[in-house]
Chains A and B, each alone.
Chain A
Amino acid sequence: MTETVLETQGLTKYYGSTLALDHMNLQIPRGCICGFVGRNGAGKTTAIKLMLGLLRPTAGSSRLLGCDSQQLEPVIRQRIGYVTEGHRLFRWMSINELEKFQRAFFPKHELEKFQRAFFPKQWDDKFFADMIEYFGLPRKRKIKHLSNGERAQVSLALALVPNPELLIMDDPTLGLDAAIRRQFLEGMIELIMREGRTVLFSSHILGDVERVSDRIAVIDKGVLRANCSLEEFRAAVKKVVLSFADSTPADVDIDGLLHLRRSEKELELILVGTADEQIAEWAKSNRAQNHQIVQMNLEDQFIEYTAPANHRRLFRWEEK
């Protein structure tokens, strides 16, 4: 029995007549890191903003920590961390001022003593100080005078220090160098090790997603195409190369067929959820000379999985 911390039902958003998100049903169980992947413009940011109640859905609903996204009360928001795309922070504040500003949203100090017992310690001054020192950031400098990487580091510290139960990050590593990207991954792992924390992050770096996630959600043109354990996805999308003695069969009828490419005597199939035995059987009954199941990496799997039907390479080498 795992509890669901994030749930959307038929979540739909139109911008004018453009459909940005189409009936998304996403569930994320407590305690996982979910990588949220999709091509540019697939609807990731829209989905995230709807989940956080920053946009109004055209239809459908979403719930975070059991509360409707459109009515998140401050006590619930305190338990949710959100890192915006591009790490937008108040540019005119210094790091010190920003710390004070953020800390004020976690008013444990203002509570009566008996009340404090019911609130877990959230804002950790020492943790923030340690992170800023580790990053070597000048506390008095204004945000607008920091580099993109430094601003991202401040944003990471601000996200982790309140120890959020649910952390949602919108493409946090966009445009960052390898070292700072790794710090974000470390931060996610560090958070998830604490009891009952959950992370949802979108990214285009599939290697990062594979490294830290145990779940994956794939969105394509506003449609959620996969929402499962990473392992399941890794095992489901397969490439099979079959070779034939004289010509390839005209009709290819096999369960889970996504893409098909032919050359004279070879057939390349991209299959989803087809068992190896089934592939072997199909190869045999269609008189393939041999077949090979190729182990794809996550990036290739993602590209194939989200490619339109009949898609071809942009450039193709041709013998002259």
Chain B
Amino acid sequence: MALWIQISSGSGQPIYVQVAEQISEAIAKSELASGDKLPAVRKLASELVINPNTVARAYTRLEQAGLVTTKTGSGTYVSDPKLRKSDAADINILTERMDTLITRGLNLGLREQGK
């Protein structure tokens, strides 16, 4: 599955954030369904040629956002949407994205349309 993850190493965004965001996007688009298993940390690290600790950190971030759950000794799975809790980090990501969207909307002159 790792093939669609794209690392850009000159970016301002830390690599663990890039990995976490791309996986969370895949979950949002239902490309990854609840119960799907994420690749093992070492496997993904090897495929993307990034440090295994970076992958582990991305998974932790997804776990904190409630998007995945880790079962000890078994692996990391996409969690059931009903059981997901939205926390501050999650909302922060959303706010950042929305800010970009709103800016673009305003630049396109969308504000006029409400009137």
Contacts and interface: CB of A to CB of B under 8 A. Distances in A.
A and B from one assembly? yes
B65 interface: no
Nearest to B42: A193
A68 interface: no
B51 interface: yes
B45 A185 contact: no
Interface string B1-33: 000000101111111100000000000000000
Interface string A187-198: 001101100000
A208 interface: yes
B49 interface: yes
Given A211-B15, A231-B57, A185 B10 contact: no
A210 B12 contact: no
Contacts, number: 51
A213 interface: yes
B10 A297 contact: yes
A48 B5 CA distance: 35
Contact of B46 (A193, A208, A214, A294): A193
Q: How large is the interface on A (under 10, 10 to 19, 20 to 34, 35 or more residues)?
A: 20 to 34
B10 A299 contact: yes
Contacts of B11: 297
Given A190-B46, A193-B45, A214 B51 contact: yes
A294 B13 CA distance: 11
A185 B42 CA distance: 15
Nearest to A32: B53
5 contacts: A189-B51, A190-B46, A193-B52, A210-B15, A294-B12
Interface of A: 32-33, 182, 185-186, 189-190, 192-193, 206-208, 210-214, 231, 234, 294-299
